[in-house]
Amino acid sequence: MIKTNHDYQNLQGSYLFSTIAKKVAAYGESHPDRAGQVIRLGIGDVTQPIAPSIIRAMHEAVDEMADAATFKGYAPDLGYEFLRSAIADEYKSRGCSIAADEVFVSDGAKCDSGNIQEIFSRDAKIAVCDPVYPVYVDSNVMAGRSGKWDPARQCYENFIYMPCTEENGFAPELPEQEPDVIYLCFPNNPTGATASKSQLQEWVDYANKIHAVILYDAAYEAYISEPDVPHSIYECDGARTCAIEIRSFSKNAGFTGVRLGFTVIPKELKDADGITLHSLWARRHGTKYNGAPYIIQKAGLAVYSPEGQKEIREQVAYYMNNAKIIYDGLKKAGYSVSGGVNAPYIWLKTPDGMTSWDFFDDLLERLNIVGTPGSGFGPHGEGYFRLTAFGSYEKTKEAVDRIIAGRI
Ligand code: PLP
């Protein structure tokens, strides 16, 4: 008898982007004359090519593979020392004390944020924002940590949802029920919201007090433009005893297709029995992961060079100029808008109480623009819509002009 773990079939988030793709394809088939005019501001994928100095580093690493003296086989499963040290130095430059051997290099933040739950017990209570990047909930449900499905709340009993609404500035409040694991993501996908240093400090103090762990997803750290917004949770006092931080090279350096990320676990972070989470993740990572490729880790190192830094800052500025165009244009058209200042995502309220999906259909059919329905990120995303700044300047401008001209 084949017995499967099919709990996660009840999850809607995983279907979000395939549903969007199907709807856009169906629209293209039924309107062949307009298919070419569709502008996609839905998926959070970059469009700018990888910066020249990083490409050069990749080529050099490829050439090393052709020479027996410099050839590399399996990479160390936790990452090459050269990259881990560069990452630790970057933390130091922000006043955070992180040692190179507290950095675990990986193939990206999606895998790390999806896999890290493996080190926690089955009955751990999980707090997540609502709306939320779907990987956090889905990966816990897939691991069998969900508890029973609660049809009234439309969620599993082991989850604590923390609503992020207009009223709280899309930043979650401390939950009433005590969690064991808290997922936070700032700058946030999908809302583009950030936490100030004092807000984040409150979370760190709370986690230390109740002895919970914060899984801090800082995939969009490079997009922060305001001085009071922390780039790392380790800028907060006491974070070394309660926080794991996950980062990515995808959005800051265009590695979405190249794949590189890392997770930081300070050695002071221990479970109730005094076992370090660092040792648990090292064991798990070493068992299931054979290391990010040397060529890609060399490319990652080039990101930290002065030239690499200059080039990637220009790319981020390019996307953030798009974000400003979207933000200002939507405001001009009379929408209620947030995000877009420290993040490449713009979060808008659908007009006249339209549902997120009705607004999606309307935008696609009337203006040929694709965005992402907020309800796909959680119940409190209903009535909201996400647009991304990762398109080209020209297409972004054209989309915004259409929205201003065709305001519902
Ligand atoms: N974390 C968040 C919040 C994201 O939005 C994304 C991608 O969209 C990721 C992680 C995935 O990053 P990566 O490309 O490194 O897997």
Are residues 324 and 279 located together in one domain of the fold?
no
Are residues 398 and 374 located together in one domain of the fold?
yes
Are residues 228 and 376 located together in one domain of the fold?
no
297 C-alpha vs ligand 1 centroid, how far in Å?
18
343 C-alpha vs ligand 1 centroid, how far in Å?
13
CATH number at residue 70: 3.40.640.10
| Full-model pTM | 0.96
Are residues 259 and 388 located together in one domain of the fold?
no
217 C-alpha vs ligand 1 centroid, how far in Å?
8
What is the number of the ligand 1 atom nearest to the C-alpha of 45?
8
Q: How many other β-carbons are positioned within 10 Å of the β-carbon of residue 187?
A: 27
Are residues 166 and 191 located together in one domain of the fold?
yes
Are residues 320 and 368 located together in one domain of the fold?
yes
134 C-alpha vs ligand 1 centroid, how far in Å?
10
> What pLDDT, on the 0 to 100 scale, is given for residue 1?
87
Are residues 21 and 116 located together in one domain of the fold?
no
d(CA 337, CA 385): 10
Residue that terminates a domain, selected from 306, 340, 364: 306
Report which protein residue has its CA nearest ligand 1's atom 3: 189
d(CA 70, CA 46): 32
Across residues 193-205, what is the average pLDDT?
97
Q: How many domains does the chain have?
A: 2
Are residues 74 and 37 located together in one domain of the fold?
no
Alpha carbons within 13 angstroms on the beta-carbon side of residue 313 total 8
231 C-alpha vs ligand 1 centroid, how far in Å?
16
Are β-strands 149-150 and 369-370 bridged in parallel, bridged antiparallel, or unpaired? unpaired
Residue 71 is assigned to a structural domain of this protein:
yes
Residue that terminates a domain, selected from 255, 289, 306: 306
> What pLDDT, on the 0 to 100 scale, is given for residue 13?
52
Asked if 301 and 86 touch (Cβ cutoff 8 Å), the reply is yes
pLDDT tens column, 295-334: 999 999 999 999 999 999 999 999 999 999 999 999 999 9
Asked if 383 and 349 touch (Cβ cutoff 8 Å), the reply is yes
Residue 38 structural domain:
7-48+309-405
- In this structure, the residues whose C-beta lies within 6 A of any atom of ligand 1 are 44, 108-110, 113, 133, 185, 189, 217, 219, 248, 250, 256, 261
What is the number of the ligand 1 atom nearest to the C-alpha of 248?
15
What residue spans of 289-407 are helical by DSSP H? 294-303, 306-332, 356-367, 393-405
Asked if 295 and 289 touch (Cβ cutoff 8 Å), the reply is no
Asked if 152 and 186 touch (Cβ cutoff 8 Å), the reply is no
Split at pLDDT 50, 70, 90, the class of 340 is very high
In one-letter notation, the amino acid at residue 355 is: T
Residue 383 is assigned to a structural domain of this protein:
yes
Residue 275 is assigned to a structural domain of this protein:
yes
Q: Locate 175 and state its tokens.
A: 């939950």
> Which residue is it, tokens 């909201």?
384
Q: For the purposes of burial, counting CB atoms within 10 Å of the CB of 314, is it exposed (0-12), middle (13-18) or buried (19 or more)?
A: exposed
Are residues 213 and 354 located together in one domain of the fold?
no
With the most atoms of ligand 1 within 8 angstroms of its CB, the residue from 248, 372, 390 to mutate is 248
Give which of 165, 220, 275 is closest to 46, Cα–Cα: 220
Are residues 161 and 113 located together in one domain of the fold?
yes
135 C-alpha vs ligand 1 centroid, how far in Å?
9
Q: How many other β-carbons are positioned within 10 Å of the β-carbon of residue 8?
A: 18
Are residues 105 and 245 located together in one domain of the fold?
yes
CATH number at residue 332: 3.90.1150.10
124 C-alpha vs ligand 1 centroid, how far in Å?
23
Q: How far is CA 89 from CA 154, 206, 243, 282, in A?
A: 44, 28, 19, 21
Residue 2 is assigned to a structural domain of this protein:
no
CA dihedral 295, 75, 269, 133 (to 10 degrees): 50
Report which protein residue has its CA nearest ligand 1's atom 2: 219
Residue 1 is assigned to a structural domain of this protein:
no
Split at pLDDT 50, 70, 90, the class of 407 is low
DSSP SS3 for 147 = coil
Of 148-162, 195-209, 242-256, 361-375, which gets the smallest average pLDDT?
148-162
Cis omega (within 30 of 0) for bond into 190: yes
Percent of the chain whose pLDDT exceeds 90: 89
Residue 138 is assigned to a structural domain of this protein:
yes
Are residues 125 and 272 located together in one domain of the fold?
yes
What is the number of the ligand 1 atom nearest to the C-alpha of 44?
8
Residue that terminates a domain, selected from 291, 306, 321: 306
What is the number of the ligand 1 atom nearest to the C-alpha of 260?
15
Of 15-24, 217-226, 386-395, which gets the smallest average pLDDT?
15-24
